[in-house]
Chain A
Amino acid sequence: MIYSEVSGTISEILVSHDQIVEKETDLLIIECMKMLIPVTTKNRGKIINIYVKEKDIINEGDKLIDMNYDI
């Protein structure tokens, strides 16, 4: 599970359900303190669930994306 490390607004979602992404891929962008902060996957995997949509206001610790790394 990937949680948000900052509070802010979901600016852009860059991946979709079932998509396979390589490690260090940017998954979504959070606007926080007027900066655009990418959320990145550390490992290669498949997108299982996306818990947010664009313009959502999120808090630190909120669920963002669930991935399956066993592919």
Chain B
Amino acid sequence: MSWEKELEEKVSREKLSENLGGKDRIKKQHDAGLYTIRERIDILTDKSSFNEVGKLAGHAIYNENNDLIDFKGSNFIFGKAKIDGRNIIVGGDDFTLRGGSADASIKEKHLKCEQMALSLQLPLIRIVEGSGGGGSVKTIETSGRANVPEVEGWNFVVESMGTIPRVALGLGSVAGLGAAHLACSHYSVVVKEKSAVFVAGPPVVEQIGQKLSKNELGGYEIQLKSGAVDDAVDTEEEAFKAAKKFLSYLPNSVYQLSDQIISKDDPKRTSEWLIEAIPKNIKSVYKIRPIIKDLVDKGSFFEIGKEYGKSIVTGFCRLNGWPIALMASDPYSYGGCWTSDTCKKVQKFVDLAETFHLPVIYLVDCPGFQVGLDAEKKGTIKEGVRAMSAIWQTTTPWMSIIIRNCFGVAGAAHKRGSSYISRFAWPSARWGSLPLEGGIEAAYRSDIENANDPKLELQKITTRLNKLRSPLRSAESFLIEEIIDPRHTRRIMCEFADLSAPLRKTGITKRTMRP
């Protein structure tokens, strides 16, 4: 007596499941320059590490004798796998079967995938294409009745955002629930020219009078700028690489801490050029990314959301091998002023650092919030106070280095008032309630207007006030703790990383409501 026959049938059904939507559909997928879901998982994960769950779940056709004629797997495939030797959960849509929609899905697989990642406290990578298990217009006919809208399992999604790293890869057209899965992640990536993301695609949007191509409606440039997606790369392989790199800085869950790796970069390395990195002409801008790349462990900077809220550069890096969340102002965008989008970017990034217990370093050059009609229309002050609150609510170790401007309320958000932070300034730092350049005419209006030579009076006042602007004058009153030599900044940042490592605490982040 043996169970070989039953096992043979199981293997036979699994093989049928590997056929996905059939040869024609697979060819169509390949012709579009896209991989199938099985190929994607194969490339993403370590060799032979994928243990699929529910490969036998699908839609079977039987003859009158109840013998199996054909079998198609569900169009959502998931399981446990390894990337770079580390356990993860991966799940993805099979676009070759009804475009990944609910018609060819078994919704419990989606739920189990989410529940499995959350319960095993492992990072989740969702590969999204199509409607991500959402319904289609034809659903009403296949089910014989209309659904009352419900997203079952969204509780797992919400809970896991505060518990495990979630990465979403949008590898084709992504709409409806698929777009929701892409947006509900700590890090999302799409492929340029291949992916498009929208709540509803062009045929639906045409009904409201907007005739747009996929790219015009939800191409990568639109979604990066809107902040709905974090990054775009040229190929699917690069998307997998980005997902791995992102996860390499994070623990498996909030109940663990990220590890230190061996760094070959000397933590005491000095950089001579940093003494002249900030131009003396205060109207001139400089490139922040070369400064960041020089300060962190070589090759370790991983930027997130480059095209969104560009006045702040955000990303992960390593210092003496420790993972750090790094923010830095970019004067090329609004002189470093915080726009409404910048404030939203800060909120998300600070929350990400706090959730996964990464210490934060902020290189500050913030002349304030963006001003003007555009800024008011976009509710900059509202998003601004939310960003400030996000910073105030952090408990993770925090370091700020003021490298140039630090003005106004947005400037004050370089630190939290609630607990200790490490703070330093470069000699190029300048600060105050308002930049002098913006306020002298208003603050000294009567002096200037009543002077015999108003221009000369303005110049005199400016010269007088400029003498007070030196950061050393502020240091006299201990308003700034230390002025440092920019060339030695890396050593100070690495010391911060070393000191912060034992202070990190595991657990779920709790916070109260923001404004």
Residues of A within 8 A of B (CB): 5-7, 32-38, 59-60
Contacts and interface: CB of A to CB of B under 8 A. Distances in A.
Interface of B is mostly: loop
Contacts of A36: 283-285
A38 B286 CA distance: 10
Interface of B: 283-285, 310, 331-337, 367, 370-372, 374, 435, 437-438
B378 to A, nearest CB: 10
Given A7-B372, A7-B374, A59-B374, A34 B333 contact: no
Given A33-B367, A33-B370, A38 B285 contact: yes
Given A7-B372, A59-B374, A60-B374, A33 B334 contact: yes
A33 B332 contact: no
Contacts of B370: 33
Contacts of B367: 33-35
A35 B331 contact: yes
A48 to B, nearest CB: 20
A37 B331 CA distance: 8
Given A7-B372, A59-B374, A60-B374, A34 B334 contact: no
Contact of A32 (B335, B437, B438): B335
27 contacts: A5-B310, A5-B333, A6-B334, A7-B374, A32-B334, A33-B334, A33-B335, A33-B337, A33-B367, A33-B371, A34-B283, A34-B335, A34-B367, A34-B435, A34-B438, A35-B283, A35-B284, A35-B285, A35-B331, A35-B336, A35-B367, A36-B283, A36-B284, A37-B331, A37-B332, A38-B285, A60-B374
Given A7-B372, A7-B374, A37 B310 contact: no
Nearest to B337: A33
Query: Which one of B335, B372, B437 has the greatest number of beta carbons of chain A within 10 Å?
Result: B335
A37 B336 CA distance: 11
Contact of A37 (B335, B372, B374): B335
Contacts of A37: 285, 331-332, 335
Contacts of A6: 333-334
Contacts of B283: 34-36
Query: Which one of B334, B370, B437 has the greatest number of beta carbons of chain A within 10 Å?
Result: B334
Contacts of B285: 35-38
Contacts of A34: 283, 335, 367, 435, 437-438
A59 B371 CA distance: 13
Nearest to A11: B283
A5 B310 CA distance: 9
A55 B317 CA distance: 41
Query: Which one of A5, A6, A7 has the greatest number of beta carbons of chain B within 10 Å?
Result: A6
Contacts of A7: 372, 374
Contacts of B438: 34
A22 B460 CA distance: 43
